[in-house]
Amino acid sequence: MPPLNPATIPSRVVGRPRRLTLDGLLDAAIEGGLADLNMKELAGRLGVGIATLYRYVENRDTLVRLATGRQAGRRAPPDAGQDWADLARAFADTLFASLGGNAQLVIGFIEAQWGIAVEMEFVDAFLGAMTVRGFDDEEAMYLYRQIGQVCIGAAAVKGHFSALASRDTDQGQELDRALLAWESDELPNLRAAAQAYSDQVAPCDIGPAIDAILRDTARRRGEIG
């Protein structure tokens, strides 16, 4: 048999990377904004045909749900052996940071676009950290829920204020306009508290509420009188 002529051997494409991955698709969707996500425009930005996107996700809603879950993912703060209250506060800061920076995450949580699967590791880390510090399972879970309620509520308020800012207004201006529909002697209590009601800083500060929760927890545990 005569030797093969190298010129007649078909060339083989070796190690050619795929142009798109699911992670890359999700990151691109997040970068472009999920609220007004347009599949055709996203495909154009990625330099692929729109049909390529549907190899990775069933439809736009699925892409938004997966991308929202990716955004909502969070890492537990480092456990350096600190006091349980300090570590619980660090968990609260991490949770609020992940939600407060993007109102779409709060909306996604309400609409169940993300949920248990996203936070399982985070919750497990919190429960484990509290358990080794003397909490029982029920006590640790109760504390986590209290922290979560504060963080989600504050994140929703922060998102509301951000939406007002995008319309070139704020809480104070909105209150002034709304009061015009009432007589000047009506709603006296709200008028008296108008400055406090218009404050957009305090409602987004989780510190005081978290501190109150931690003090109450310490009191129930008999650590303070």
Q: Check which CATH number belongs to the domain holding 98 and give it.
A: 1.10.357.10
Alpha-carbon distance of 1 to 216, in angstroms, equals 89
- Provide the b/e sequence for 119-147 (b: ≥16 CB within 10 Å): beebbebbbebbeebebeeebbeebbebb
Last residue of a domain, one of 71, 89, 115: 71
Write the CB contacts of 74 (distance below 8 Å, at least 6 apart in sequence).
94, 95, 97, 98, 119, 122
Q: Quick check: is 131 in a domain?
A: yes
Q: Quick check: is 137 in a domain?
A: yes
Q: Quick check: is 82 in a domain?
A: yes
User: Can you give the pLDDT at residue 67?
Assistant: 85
Per-residue pLDDT averaged across 185-193, rounded?
98
Residue with tokens 């957009």: 200
Number of domains in the chain: 2
* CA-to-CA dists, residue 210 to 5, 77, 94, 109, 123, angstroms: 76, 16, 13, 21, 17
Q: Are residues 35 and 146 in the same domain?
A: no
pLDDT, tens digit, for every residue of 92-108? 999 999 888 778 788 88
Q: Quick check: is 1 in a domain?
A: no
User: Can you give the pLDDT at residue 8?
Assistant: 39
Q: Are residues 32 and 136 in the same domain?
A: no
Helix 137-166 × helix 171-179 angle, to 10°: 70
Q: Do 146 and 213 meet the contact criterion of CB atoms below 8 Å apart? A: yes
Report which of 201, 209, 218 is spatially closest to residue 92, judged by C-alpha positions: 209
Return the structure tokens found at 27.
């990151």
- 119-123, 163-167, 216-220: which has the minimum mean pLDDT? 119-123
Q: Which residue has the higher pLDDT, 220 or 34?
A: 220
Selection from 2-11, 16-25, 102-111, 155-164 with the highest mean pLDDT: 155-164
Alpha-carbon distance of 108 to 110, in angstroms, equals 5
**Amino acid occupying residue 77:** P
Last residue of a domain, one of 28, 45, 71: 71
pLDDT, tens digit, for every residue of 32-63? 888 789 999 999 999 999 999 999 999 998 89
Q: Which residue has the higher pLDDT, 130 or 74?
A: 130
Q: Are residues 90 and 63 in the same domain?
A: no
Q: Quick check: is 114 in a domain?
A: yes
DSSP 8-state code for residue 55: T
Whether 214 has a pLDDT exceeding 70, the answer reads yes
User: Can you give the pLDDT at residue 119?
Assistant: 85
Q: Are residues 27 and 47 in the same domain?
A: yes
Whether 13 has a pLDDT exceeding 60, the answer reads no
Report which of 80, 155, 71 is spatially closest to residue 118, judged by C-alpha positions: 71
Q: Are residues 163 and 186 in the same domain?
A: yes
Domain range for 32 is 6-71
Average pLDDT, the chain: 88
Q: Do 62 and 35 meet the contact criterion of CB atoms below 8 Å apart? A: no
Q: Quick check: is 14 in a domain?
A: yes
Q: Are residues 203 and 123 in the same domain?
A: yes
Whether 181 has a pLDDT exceeding 60, the answer reads yes
